[in-house]
Amino acid sequence: MKIGIAADHHGIKVKENIKKYLEKKGYEVIDYGTNTSDSVDYPEYAFKVAKLLKKEEIELGILICGTGIGMSIAANKIKGVRCALVHNYKEAKLAKEHNHANCLAISASLSMFKIKDILDTFIKTKFSKLERHQRRVDMLNNNK
């Protein structure tokens, strides 16, 4: 599985820890920045990952910033991206199972223990494909 990851200046350390964790599990993780602690504009990094998701060059996206809010808003501007801001494994499971989320936004303030739980749950959970969930995802994908 090919996973794109990006962070703003608040999320660099978390991004590096996530990369190591996922690579040890055998995933291909592609880093789209930032790699500086200097203040950066988070939408730039969210857009990089989201555009690659849209083109299906990566299978999942992971975005990290101070709260995760800005990254999720930015990523969801790109048609076909369903980025969920999650704080725990239950939200990660439901985001994937019900909303067919293809991108996670995570707060840099979460513990790595919690982040690992979120990542494992998100990656292993499958979209339910129940008619009501598919109908809603179709509505999201077709919104003009």
Among residues 141, 77, 90, which one has the least CA distance to residue 120?
90
72 exposed, middle or buried (CB, 10 Å; 0-12, 13-18, 19+)? buried
Active-site option among 10, 65, 83, 103: 65
DSSP assigned state of 8? -
- Look up 10 and say whether it is catalytic: no
Catalytic residue selected from 10, 83, 87, 98: 98
Q: How many CB atoms lie within 10 A of CB 3?
A: 22
Those residues whose C-beta lies under 8 Å from the C-beta of residue 125, and which sit 6 or more positions away, are 92, 93, 96, 97
Distance, in Å, from the CA atom of 124 to the CA atom of 144, rounded to the nearest integer, reads: 31
Query: Is 65 one of the catalytic residues?
Result: yes
Task: Give the residue numbers marked as catalytic.
Answer: 65, 98
